[in-house]
Amino acid sequence: MSQAHYFSQDVPPLEPSELRPVDFRVLGHAGVQLVGAAGVFSHGKLDLGTKVLLRTLARLGPSYGLPAEPGALLLDLGCGWGPLALTMAALRPTARVVAVDTNPRALALTKLNAANLGLDNVEVAAPADATALTGIVRLWSNPPIRIGKAALHELLTTWLDRLAPGGAAELVVGRNLGADPLAQWLGSPGGGARGVTRRGSAKGYRVLSVTPS
Ligand SMILES: C[S@@+](CC[C@H](N)C(=O)[O-])C[C@H]1O[C@@H](n2cnc3c(N)ncnc32)[C@H](O)[C@@H]1O
């Protein structure tokens, strides 16, 4: 499988003719056709790992464990075309949802999908433009495992250190992509001695809930 979408900072901007339908409805609601485009992760359908994450979080209750405070900062790390950010924004319309990705096409698609859904509480940002974001109350991510262990550790350390006290991150990681060693590392002193709980396990994926140390 090509991994070009992980390293696509230099891709050209999206043309309307490039938009392709995505087979996903936010919270199952019919009506709005979401879009993806070549060069963006799983651009035609919801990725299986992301599906496992959403199904696991749905078991936490109708708000998927998202806090109700207006203005709460919710973050989608590595948003792709936006399934996690859009779901957060639909569940909590008064929250501030920020979707971060290195891929400008991903950011453009998330912005477009949010606008088409009428979700005006979604912002998109490149990582370099999001360094001031702290006090994140919930972070959801299907993280870019294939960037390599060292880069992934650096990425997760950067963002998990921005969680609010009492905040949490919900991560989905393939078992064969190192979910268990990653969980162990996150709980170790080198990984920040964070609280790590396995929330669920399905279809070859683990859902890890991570809290500040
Ligand atoms: C496994 S995909 C998940 C995409 C989307 N959340 C989904 O579920 O379909 C990981 C995403 O992380 C992005 N990414 C890679 N490196 C990143 C970085 N350093 N910071 C933020 N996002 C990054 C990739 O461009 C990709 O869109």
Instruction: Please say whether the dihedral angle defined by the alpha carbons of residues 66, 206, 104 and 25, taken in this order, is positive or negative.
Output: negative
Which of 142, 162, 182, 207 to mutate for ligand 1's pocket (most ligand atoms within 8 Å of CB)? 142
- What pLDDT does 11 receive? 56
Q: Containing H/E element for 60?
A: none
Domain residues for the domain of 138 are 4-211
- Ligand 1 within 6 A of 113 CB? no
- What pLDDT does 68 receive? 96
Query: What are 211's strand-pairing partners?
Result: 195
- Ligand 1 within 6 A of 34 CB? no
The answer to whether 119 and 83 are in contact (CB under 8 A) is no
In whole angstroms, give the CA distance from residue 197 to residue 187.
Answer: 10
- What pLDDT does 12 receive? 62
- What pLDDT does 76 receive? 98
- What pLDDT does 145 receive? 96
- Ligand 1 within 6 A of 87 CB? no
- Tell me the three state secondary structure of residue 88: helix
Q: Tens of pLDDT along the chain (213 residues)?
A: 344 454 445 556 788 899 999 999 999 888 899 999 999 999 999 999 999 999 999 999 999 999 999 999 999 999 999 999 999 999 999 999 999 999 999 999 999 999 999 999 999 999 999 999 999 999 999 999 999 999 999 999 999 999 999 999 999 999 999 999 999 999 999 999 999 999 999 999 999 999 998
In whole angstroms, give the CA distance from residue 79 to residue 122.
Answer: 11
In whole angstroms, give the CA distance from residue 110 to residue 62.
Answer: 23
Number of domains in the chain: 1
- What pLDDT does 1 receive? 35
pTM (2 decimals)?
0.95
Point out the ligand 1 atom lying closest to the alpha carbon of residue 47: 9
In whole angstroms, give the CA distance from residue 208 to residue 103.
Answer: 25
Point out the ligand 1 atom lying closest to the alpha carbon of residue 141: 6
Which of 6, 57, 105, 182 to mutate for ligand 1's pocket (most ligand atoms within 8 Å of CB)? 6
Task: Give the CATH number, domain containing residue 55.
Answer: 3.40.50.150
For the record, the structure tokens of 212 come out as 């500040």
- Ligand 1 within 6 A of 110 CB? no
